[in-house]
Structure 1
Amino acid sequence: MEHLEHRKKVLIMIAIMSAMLFAALNQTIVGTALPKIISEIGGMDYYSWVFTIFMLTSSVTAILVGKLSDMYGRKPFILLGIGVFMIGSFLNGLSASIIQLIIFRGIQGFGAGMIMSTAFTAVGDLFSPRERGKWQGLMSSVFGLASVFGPTLGGWIVDNADWHWVFWVFLPVGFIAFGMIYKMFPSQEPNRGLKVDYLGSIMLTLTIIPLLLAFTWGGNDYEWVSLQIIGLLTTSVVALILFIITEKRASNPVLPLQLFKNKIFTLSNIIGFILGAGMFGAIMYMPFFIQGVMGTSATKSGLVMMPMTLSMVFASTIGGQIITKTGKYKFLALIGLFIMSAGMILLSFMDTDTTNARALLNIIIVGTGLGLSFPVFTLTVQNAVQHKFLGVATAATQLFRQIGGTIGVAIMGTVMNSSMTSKMTEKMSSVKDSPLLSDPETAGVMKQLQDPQNIMNGGKLKELQSTLPQEFQGIYASILEGVRESLSYALTNVFFIGAMILLVGFVLTFFMKEIPLRMSNKDVTEEEKETELKEASNH
């Protein structure tokens, strides 16, 4: 497909990016709309499952479809993905209960996994590795734009229209993308001689799902040493062993183990895992600081976080152009990871006196580093593997990044909770024996005040304060200040650990060989590969 007319390639890419934007916006728009949806259909106890089910179905589908698209071509799967996602979106808008919403979000996840897996792989079909840099950068920026506009639009819809339109408003974009891809995307001849690795697919699914669930629930819904978490991790390990045994015997493995013999593939995915941990750590815990420590409202918090996303979009786009122009990518990965690490270290120095301007500058630095490094490691993997493995290799990079983000957020969450508990014990020692706290009702209010979720909610704080008589206002202010200082201390540790994790990725990048970006999708011979490696070593 790389020999298609350039204008047709550009139109196909516009269609693919439209499909990605359709999926990404539907994912980001839900966050701000969900509280209103839950207030109408109920089911607060199952709130987190609306996000968890999407993550599970999209992650598993992406890696399985990666292999299937290598066998049967990208077109049927990206069309199927758009179709399934649109059906899921339409059904979500009809949800009458939280269980229905969760089921339909799972359907959306299946579609999203197909779209994301085939979209990034399609770039590899349409363009040579040398040309892919700018397109990978543009596609990465789609997620950034969705992160900027999705939450804002979701909030506007639930405030001014029926919440059902949160899921329906972008359906026309899906229809347009489907039509353009159906008409312009070339069909590929399927390789019917290969068998689908059903057993390997089952074992891989049984490895991924319990692992993601364990790190999603651990430290939140269940203790890390609970029977549920240990059971999930044990299931994942056993399934992984069976998966490896299965793949060694399979004639057409769903995730060929031979790919891991490729040092560039393996190292790129390890760094991608680390990058995912750092990226999701910053995205998840920065709002805690802005709202909980600095006392900024949720609306203004979104405005403070927006420059991080915009800087990521800008850096990703510029970085992609530089890669295509120079053919070099390793230096961008190093610069990006270093800048992102520096930004996380700066975040770790923030405290209760930090201004919005300083927080803004720090997260712009993080976003810039993320934008420069984010697209690189998909490109390095695609450039290092044979074209017949393009789909499964690309999907593997997405899976490792997702797992890295899930595990990273879980570890940082545990660090935050333990650090905050120890600091709170120290801070509250001066007021715990106060006679004012002997009243059960007052003590209950003060306990609620020590919950980080409550101090991020300005309305909740005012509600708690209004329930206390005047003589309790002094101790209220003292406890609130202690909670904010404890949260600041805990987040300092979180950001510092995130910086150390990213610095490991920075160091590992030095060991990754930079082979020239090929000017064609034609697979190189072993002799040509040896020559490329020698040239890379000389440089």
Structure 2
Amino acid sequence: MEHLDKRTKMTIMFAVMASMLFAALNQTIVGTSLPRIVAKLGGMEYFNWVFTIFMLTSSVTAILVGKLSDIYGRKPFILSGLAVFMAGSFLCGTSDDMIQLIIYRGIQGLGGGMIMSTSFTAVGDLFSPRERGRWQGLMGAVFGLASVLGPTLGGYIVEHFDWHWVFWIFLPFGFIAFFLIWRLFPHTAQGEKKSIDYWGSMFLVLTMIPLLLAFTWAGKDYGWTSARILGLFAFSAASLLIFIRIESRTSNPVLPLHLFKNSIFSLSNVIGFIMGIGMFGAVMYTPFFIQGVLGTAPSRTGFIMMFMTLSMVFSSTIAGQYITRTGKYKHLALFGLLLMAGGMYSMSLMGLNTSNWTVVINLAIVGLGLGIAFPIFNLTVQNAVDHRYLGVATSSTQLFRQMGGTVGVSIMGTLMFNRMEEKMSLLASKSSAAAANPGVMEKLSQLRDPQALLNPDKLEQIRSGLPPQMTGMFDHIIHALREAMSYSLEGVFFMGALFMILAFLLTFFVKEIPLRTSNREPQPAGDSQEQMGETAPQN
């Protein structure tokens, strides 16, 4: 598609970014509106599955569609993704209970994975690696814009309108994106149709889903050494071994293993995995600090978090322009990761006396680093592989980043809950007044969940149910709990900083090869087909 004129490319990119924005907005809008939806539909015990099912289905389709789009072209899959996503969005708004909503969110995820995978790959079809920096930065800015608009709109809609409109309001936007892609996006099939690797696809799915579920549940719903979690890990490991054997023997593997012989491809995915840990760690656990430790109102929490997103949008746009103009990217990646590490470390120093403005500054630093480094490793992977592997290579970076986020949130969550539990046990053992009154102990035990500090109404309900002589002790315990949460989050953010330092160090080993100025150019020197392991599979 490089031969298209500039105006046509710009129009296609507008349609692609519209598709991305449509999908991203529907992801981010749910967060702030879900408590109200749960209040209407019930099923609080299934709350987390609204997010988990989307992550599972989108991760699976992203990696599978990556390979298929290399064979059949991007257009049919981005159109199918939009159609499935719109159907899922409409159905979500018709849900009568939480189970239906979870099923329909799974359908949304299937479409979302197709859209995300093909959208980033389409940039590679339209532009040479040298030109992609600018557009990868703008695509990152689209995500940032959705992160700002989505939660704000979600809160406004459920407050002033029926909750169904959370899922329906952007449907016209989806139809416009579908029409533009259908009319403007050229067909880019590779020509030769190859057999589909059904067995490899099946065992890739059987590897991913148990692994993601294990890290989602471990440390929260089940212990890390519980039979269920160990069984999921074992099943995933067995499926992985079978998958590797299938891929090494099939003629058209869904995930060509020889790509991992390319050090740039492998290291970039490892770094993306580690970045996912840090990025999701900051996003998921900072609200615990803002609301739980500082006692900031939820309405202001979104405003504070917005500064991270805005700084990410700013830096990703500037960094993309710089890469396109200079062709240099490695020193930018190092600088971005160092900024992220510094921001996360600064967050680990925060405590009860921290001001909201200090949180804003630290989040802005993390966002600046994330915006710089986030798009670069998509670019390094795309530049290091032959163009016929563009789809599967791009989707692999998304998969590793998503899995890093899942693993990171699980590990950091376990660290946080363990530290909170340790502090709570110490607090209970020292509270002789509470120990002498089992009824009081029962009420105070409700505070063992860190989520309680994020719910002022629940705190007030517990406080009002205590005897008058115990309210002073209650207030003292709440203060101690805030200290305990601050201590637990200090460990979470410090761990995030360590992961970013690891990513920073690994980046030194990523070869900086010249960015190609055309998709028709051969791979840059240093990453020859021989080094890539381009050998025929043994049948």
Q: Which amino acid is the alignment partner of residue 478 of structure 1?
A: H
Contact 2:67 2:254 in 1 (8 A): yes
- Specify the alignment match of 1:176 in structure 2: 176
Q: Distance in 1 between matches of 2:444 and 2:119?
A: 50
Q: Secondary structure at the match of 2:391?
A: helix
Question: Alignment partner of 1:180: what SS?
Answer: helix
Give 1:416's aligned residue. 416
Partner of 2:473: 475
Distance 1:324 1:338, change over 3 A: same
Shift of 1:446: 1.4
Give the Å deviation of 1:49. 1.1
In 2: Cα distance, 1:99 partner to 1:493 partner: 36
Give the C-alpha shift of residue 97 in structure 1.
1.6
Q: How far apart, in 1, do the equivalents of 2:461 and 2:448 lie?
A: 14
Give the distance between the partners of 2:99 and 2:523, measured in 1 at CA.
53
For residues 166 and 526 of structure 2, the distance between their equivalents in structure 1, rounded to whole angstroms, comes to 52
Match of 2:95 in 1: 95
For 2:81 and 2:525, the matched residues in 1 are separated by 39
How far apart are residue 187 of structure 1 and its match? 1.0
* 1:344 maps to 2:344: yes
Q: For the residues of structure 1 that align with 2:329 and 2:120, how far apart are their CA atoms?
A: 18
SS where residue 230 of structure 1 aligns?
helix
Aligned letter for 2:510? M
**Corresponding position of 1:489:** 487
Partners of 1:64 and 1:254 within 8 A in 2: yes
Query: Is 2:311 the counterpart of 1:311?
Result: yes
Instruction: Say yes or no: does 1:106 pair with 2:109.
Output: no
Identity %: 60
Q: How far is 1:298 from its partner?
A: 0.9
Match of 2:392 in 1: 392
Checking the alignment, whether the CA contact within 8 Å between 2:384 and 2:524 is kept in structure 1 is no
Secondary structure (helix, strand or coil) at the match of 1:296 reads coil
| CA–CA separation in structure 1 for the residues paired with 2:421 and 2:364 | 30
How big is the shift at 1:47? 1.3
Which secondary structure state, in structure 1, belongs to the residue aligned with residue 206 of structure 2? helix
Once residues 311 and 289 of structure 1 are traced to their aligned partners in structure 2, the CA distance between those partners, rounded to angstroms, is: 20
CA distance in 1, matches of 2:475, 2:510: 53
Higher mean alpha-carbon deviation, 50-59 vs 441-450, is at 441-450
Count the aligned residue pairs: 529
Deviation at 1:41, TM superposition (A): 1.8
Q: Which residue of 1 aligns with 2:226?
A: 226
In structure 1, the residue matched to 2:214 is: 214
- The structure-2 alpha-carbon separation of the partners of 1:292 and 1:526, relative to structure 1 and needing over 3 Å to count, comes to closer
Match of 1:461 in 2: 459
2:24 paired residue number: 24
Structure 2 counterpart of 1:144, one-letter code: G
Question: How far off its partner does 1:463 sit?
Answer: 1.9
Q: CA deviation at 1:141?
A: 1.2
Residue number in structure 1 paired with 2:117:
117
| Counterparts of 2:170 and 2:201, CA distance in 1 | 32
**Residue deviations 1:80-101, cap 9 Å, x none?**
0000000101111111121111
1:238 aligns with 2:238: yes
Report if the CA contact (8 A) 1:307-1:364 is conserved. Answer: yes
Residues 293, 487 of structure 1: 8 Å contact kept: yes
User: Alpha-carbon deviation of 1:527?
Assistant: 6.0
- Other-structure match for 2:441: 443
Distance of 2:524 and 2:176 partners within structure 1: 43
Name the counterpart of 1:515: 513
The correspondence of residues 156-195 of structure 1 with structure 2, limited to 5 A, is 156-195=156-195
- Rounded to whole Å, the distance in 1 between the matches of 2:524 and 2:487 is 54
Offset of residue 525 of structure 1 = 5.7
| d(CA) in 1 for partners of 2:130, 2:190 | 26
The change in CA–CA distance for 1:256 and 1:34 in structure 2 (over 3 A counts) is same
Q: Distance in 1 between matches of 2:190 and 2:513?
A: 30
Is the 1:62–1:113 Cα contact (8 Å) retained in structure 2?
Answer: yes
> How many angstroms does 1:201 deviate by?
0.1
Asked if 1 retains the 8 angstrom alpha-carbon contact of 2:347 and 2:490, the reply is: yes
Q: Where does structure 1 differ by over 4 angstroms across 4 or more consecutive aligned residues? A: 525-530
Match in the other structure for 2:78: 78
Moved more, 364-373 or 442-451: 442-451
Show the counterpart of 2:254.
254
* Contact 1:134 1:324 (8 Å CA) reproduced: yes
- Separation in 1 of the partners of 2:106 and 2:269? 26
Report the CA distance between 1:291 and its aligned residue. 0.6
Q: Structure 1 pair 153/525, CA: closer, same or farther in 2 (3 Å)?
A: closer
Q: Partner letter of residue 460 of structure 1?
A: K
Unaligned runs of 5+ in 2: 532-539
Q: Distance in 1 between matches of 2:273 and 2:527?
A: 26
Coordinate RMSD, CA, aligned: 1.4
> Is the Cα–Cα contact under 8 Å of residues 269 and 400 in structure 1 kept in the other structure?
yes
2:513–2:524 Cα contact (<8 Å) kept: no
Normalised to the residue count of structure 2, the TM-score between the two structures is 0.96
1:59-96 deviation digits (Å, cap 9, x = unpaired): 00000000000000000000000000001011111111
Greater shift in the superposed pair: 458-467 or 218-227: 458-467
Aligned counterparts, 1:240-389, within 5 A: 240-389=240-389
Which letter does structure 2 place at the counterpart of 1:367? G
Instruction: Give the aligned partner of residue 48 of structure 1.
Output: 48
**CA offsets 1:387-426 (integer angstroms, 9 cap, x no match):** 0000000000000000011001111111111122223333
The amino acid of 1:320's aligned partner reads G
Could you list the per-position Cα deviations for residues 198-222 of structure 1 after superposition, in whole angstroms to 9, with x for gaps in the alignment? 0000010000000000000001111
Aligned to 1:38, what secondary structure does the other structure show?
helix
Shift of 1:526: 7.4
Give the aligned partner of residue 537 of structure 1.
none
The code of the aligned residue for 1:459 comes to D
Letter in 2 for 1:448: Q
Q: Distance in 2 between matches of 1:216 and 1:422?
A: 22
> Are the structure 2 counterparts of residues 272 and 528 from structure 1 closer, same or farther at C-alpha, using a change threshold of 3 Å?
closer
Supply the distance in 2 between the matched residues of 1:525 and 1:288 (Cα, whole angstroms): 46
Displacement of 1:191: 3.5
* Cα distance, 1:439 vs structure 2: 2.9
Unpaired stretches in structure 1, ≥5 consecutive residues: 534-539
| One-letter identity of the residue aligned with 2:149 | F
Aligned to 1:11: 11
Give the conservation status (yes or no) of the 8 Å contact 1:129–1:517: yes
Residue 523 (structure 1) shift:
4.0
Does structure 2 conserve the Cα–Cα contact (< 8 Å) formed by 1:423 and 1:489?
no
Q: 2:500 aligned with 1:502, yes or no?
A: yes
| 1:3 CA displacement | 1.4
For residues 222-259 of structure 1, the C-alpha deviation after alignment (integer angstroms, 9 at most, x for no partner) is 11111110111001000000000000011000000000
The AA in structure 1 aligned to 2:346 is: L
Q: CA deviation at 1:440?
A: 3.1
Cα deviations across residues 444-489 of structure 1 (Å, max 9, x unaligned)? 2211233211111122222222222321122111111111111111
Asked whether the equivalents of residues 53 and 109 of structure 1 are also in contact (C-alpha less than 8 Å), the reply is yes
Matched residue type, 1:383 = N
**Greater alpha carbon shift after TM alignment, 36-45 vs 386-395:** 36-45
Structure 1 residues 445, 525: closer, same or farther in 2, change over 3 A?
A: closer
Structure-2 residue corresponding to 1:140: 140
Q: Quick one: distance in 1 between partners of 2:351 and 2:516?
A: 48
Which residue is equivalent to 1:536? none
Letter in 2 for 1:124: G
On the 8 A contact 1:2/1:128 being kept in 2, the answer is: yes
Contact 2:516 2:524 in 1 (8 A): no
What does the per-residue CA deviation read over 1:304-345, in whole Å, with 9 as the maximum and x for residues that have no partner? Answer: 111011101111111111111110010110000000000000
